[in-house]
Amino acid sequence: MFKPARHGEVGGVSLQRSQQQKPLRSHDRLNLCAEMSHKIVNLRVRDVRFPTSLEQHGSDAMHTDPDYSAAYVVLDTDSGLKGFGLTFTLGKGTEIVLCAVKALAGLVIGKSLQEIVSNFRGFYRLLTSDGQMRWLGPEKGVIHLATAAVLNAVWDLWARAEGKPLWKLLVDMDPKQIVSCIDFRYITDVLTEEEALDILVKAQEGKKQREDQMLKEGYPAYTTSCAWLGYSDQQLKQLCSDALKSGWTRFKVKVGADLEDDIRRCRLIRKMIGPSSTLMIDANQRWDVAEAISWVSRLAEVKPLWIEEPTSPDDILGHAAISKALAPLGIGVATGEQCHNRVMFKQFLQASALQFVQIDSCRLGSVNENLAVLLMAYKFQVPVCPHAGGVGLCELVQHLILFDYICVSADLRNRMCEYVDHLHEHFTSPVVIQDAHYMPPKDPGYSCEMLEESVNRHEYPEGDIWKQEIQK
Ligand SMILES: C[C@H](O)[C@@H](O)[C@@H](O)[C@H](O)C(=O)O
Ligand SMILES: [Mg+2]
């Protein structure tokens, strides 16, 4: 078990600000007082929805009218420091996630940050294994989305208490402490605590250079913003040509509703981006296994790097069959945005059912469970290409992939993080993209905080935006 924190430390990490921080505001100085244990005194959760369906942003073969939304959590502490967290939804049903967050609140309120992070594995287990509530999951569905929202807020709080962006908090952590945050239950047959530690210790070599490289160059990204399924060919062409001008070289196209449309749209994009740029296609679970193989074979001429979510996200053996059939065409299978826990990822990896692991910051049980998946992916030598987009997913997952490169994989081959150009303006520390790369965030925290005004305007159903929509 992780050793208890000494006086003046949070979870064994001394309370120091990293070099590249913005200057301290007086408010921060107050919060960073080393004496404070940051006892969580309240948890608030709000239903925040953006009417993205009006313009078909985010549309795909299965989710034709998503309103990008979030269950948005704020943790208040006795020191005045706050933690912000969220989980992503598509509109309807967000109120159910709010209920689940409220059901978990009793396990969080009254605990101090110090208490939580000095036994983070135990706290993760407390939230995911409550003897009554686990029946609702376990570790899947609405209750797990709620766990993600709450734990994301705890990680945000921790990073803020340290005065570091989350990626830097992780990068500076002792490997033993990282491992102490992971619940290895159900995965020890492929990854033991000792093996995880060994991976992290070995990757210490060259860590500083990789961190400097990331600060200078950023992490490579691809864009999904040009080719949502509901966009017209005209729109697609315009967005693609704008993206090319801004330096994008990797593009994802939505497919799966109509084969002839897919062939036309994919040819169009391939022609515009040229043979050396990278193209990926995403069917969002539209097909049965045999249909997936025949449909994607017809699209092989546009040379996609991967087909994403070809079939049910739970069908591990189906994905394995598709992977096997498409391998001779040079097309890999990617999945993960609806892969609900580490056990599923374990089996996908064991069965060679995916060639690209798409972690998700709000689907899995926050940083804790994502760490387990990053380490398993490393063990199986499968590249991680995170799912992002939605609302806030880019802001969050950039921290995890930076950690992955600096402290786990040390490899950029066949790796890139998704980027979607929507709704960043609603965050206090929005992502910074330069030359199609994610630049490492500098503000303390997990980049989850939304502007209060945005939350008020988009809160469902009372916010102005929704009042106007309802009146129409
Ligand atoms: C409904 C959403 O926009 C999805 O289409 C989106 O997350 C997508 O699968 C993606 O990979 O970005
Ligand atoms: Mg997808």
Q: What is the pLDDT, as a whole number, of residue 469?
A: 76
Distance of alpha carbon 124 from alpha carbon 130, whole angstroms: 10
The kind and range of the H/E element at 10 are: strand 9-10
446 pLDDT tier (thresholds 50, 70, 90): very high
* Percent share of the chain, pLDDT over 70: 92
- 171, 400 in Cβ contact below 8 A? no
Mean pLDDT of 224-240: 96
* Token digits of residue 199: 């991976």
Q: What is the pLDDT, as a whole number, of residue 35?
A: 56
**202-458 maps to CATH 3.20.20.120:** yes
Other CB atoms within a 10 A radius of the CB of residue 230 amount to 17
For 315, the 3-state DSSP assignment is: coil
Distance of alpha carbon 129 from alpha carbon 123, whole angstroms: 10
19 pLDDT tier (thresholds 50, 70, 90): very low
Report how far ligand 2's centroid is from the alpha carbon of 168 (Å): 27
- Residue 335 pLDDT more than 80? yes
- pTM assigned to the model: 0.92
Mean pLDDT of 221-241: 97
- Ligand 1 pocket, 284 CB below 6 A? yes
ipTM above 0.90, yes or no: yes
* Token digits of residue 139: 């570790």
Question: Ligand 1: which residue has its CA nearest to atom 10?
Answer: 387
By DSSP bridging, strand 356-357 and strand 332-335 are parallel
Instruction: For residue 62, give the nearest of 271, 313, 411 by alpha carbon.
Output: 313
Instruction: For residue 11, give the nearest of 146, 125, 170 by alpha carbon.
Output: 170
Query: Catalytic: 379?
Result: no
Q: Which CATH number fits domain 9-164: 3.30.390.10, 3.30.70.20, 3.90.1170.50, 3.10.450.240?
A: 3.30.390.10
Query: Catalytic: 387?
Result: yes
Instruction: For residue 410, give the nearest of 216, 210, 168 by alpha carbon.
Output: 210
- Ligand 1 pocket, 360 CB below 6 A? no
11 pLDDT tier (thresholds 50, 70, 90): very low
Distance of alpha carbon 112 from alpha carbon 12, whole angstroms: 15
**Strand partners for 71:** 47, 87
**Which residue ranges make up each domain of the chain?**
9-164, 202-458
- Ligand 1 pocket, 69 CB below 6 A? no
The kind and range of the H/E element at 44 are: strand 40-49
Question: Ligand 1: which residue has its CA nearest to atom 6?
Answer: 58
By DSSP bridging, strand 278-282 and strand 306-308 are parallel
The kind and range of the H/E element at 394 are: helix 393-403
Q: H helices of 59-140, where?
A: 94-108, 113-117, 120-128
Report how far ligand 2's centroid is from the alpha carbon of 395 (Å): 17
Which tens digit of pLDDT belongs to each residue from 395-433? 999 999 999 999 999 999 999 999 999 999 999 999 999
Mean pLDDT, the chain, integer: 93
